[in-house]
């Protein structure tokens, strides 16, 4: 059976897996003399625009950094606002995700959230588990260093139990223990708002990903910005250490 052609842009193939560090909600609100909560609310609208655009462009997997393990350091009121917006997104957009055959995945230890948030997430995951279309992965209480520690601990326990030869541990062994094991390899990571760092996000997965840092604040990011990022990706030459 012939393999389906990858979607193309003017610059080349569309990346299979795109990850976005959604940054700039607070600065967006500050520029408009609004509370930070207004920036986060506008950021949810950007999530809606970008997830729809990604599906239209043929991106197989979109991973969004929604709440890091370090975000607990923020004021309790802001964390509460973020949890409220997460619940709002699930309640309002789950039907669309189901209708569009989207597979929802969560990266990170979301069990730390309140019981009502955990229940909503569990229900959303269960109701989209059988879908066969594009993947929307949301990173919640996620940190890449902790993810790598957990993978190392799992492999160490297997070796200690005699189930695994330490000498046989390779790249594939580690990747099978990562939370992204069901996703395609990461092709493109985008960070909005002009910051130039990964902030403990998908550190292993980003080893050979193309990185793109844009000045646009996340609430202003939309389909045209994603299309421009995809075009820029198409112009890159990915050598993976070769010539």
**Which residues define the annotated binding site for Mg(2+)?**
23, 210
CA atoms within 13 A on the CB side of 177: 19
Identify the active-site residue in 23, 81, 93, 225: 23
First CA to last CA across the chain, in angstroms?
32
Query: Does 92 qualify as catalytic in the annotation?
Result: no
Q: What gap in Å lies between CA 38 and CA 29, rounded to an integer?
A: 6
Query: Does 122 qualify as catalytic in the annotation?
Result: no
Q: Is 45 helix (H, G, I), strand (E, B) or coil?
A: helix
Residue ranges at the known binding site: 23-28, 36, 40, 68-70, 72, 74, 191, 197-199, 210
Identify the active-site residue in 71, 131, 200, 220: 71
- Positions of E strands within 143-209: 188-191
Closest CA to 18 of 53, 42, 70, 46: 53
Residue 135, judged by CB atoms within 10 A of its CB (0-12, 13-18, 19+), counts as buried
Residue 243, judged by CB atoms within 10 A of its CB (0-12, 13-18, 19+), counts as exposed
Spatial neighbors of 149 by CB under 8 A, at least 6 apart, are none
- Contact between 234 and 11 under an 8 Å Cβ cutoff? The reply is yes
Residue whose entry in the numeric block shows the structure tokens 């709440």? 67
Question: Which two three-digit tokens encode residue 44?
Answer: 């949810």
Q: Which residues are catalytic?
A: 23, 71
């Amino acid at each position: 059976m012939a393999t389906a052609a990858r979607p193309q842009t003017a610059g080349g193939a569309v990346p299979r897996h795109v990850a976005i560090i959604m940054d700039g909600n607070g600065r967006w609100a500050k520029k408009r003399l609004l509370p930070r909560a207004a920036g986060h609310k506008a950021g949810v609208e950007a999530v809606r625009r970008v997830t729809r655009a990604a599906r239209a462009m043929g991106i197989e997997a979109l991973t969004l950094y929604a709440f890091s393990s370090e975000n607990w350091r923020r004021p309790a009121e802001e964390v509460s606002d973020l949890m409220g917006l997460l619940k709002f997104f699930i309640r309002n957009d789950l039907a669309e995700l189901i209708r569009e055959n989207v597979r929802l995945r969560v990266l990170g230890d979301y069990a730390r959230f309140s019981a009502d948030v955990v229940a909503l997430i569990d229900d959303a995951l269960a109701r989209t588990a059988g879908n066969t279309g594009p993947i929307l992965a949301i990173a919640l209480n996620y940190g890449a260093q902790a993810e790598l520690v957990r993978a190392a601990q799992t492999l160490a326990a297997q070796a200690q139990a005699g189930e695994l030869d330490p000498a046989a541990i390779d790249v594939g062994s580690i990747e099978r223990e990562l939370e992204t094991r069901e996703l395609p390899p990461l092709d493109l990571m985008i960070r909005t708002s002009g910051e130039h760092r990964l902030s403990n996000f998908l550190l292993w997965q980003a080893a050979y990903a193309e990185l793109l840092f844009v000045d646009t604040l996340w609430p202003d990011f939309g389909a045209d910005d994603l299309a421009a990022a995809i075009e820029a990706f198409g112009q890159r030459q990915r050598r993976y250490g070769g010539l």
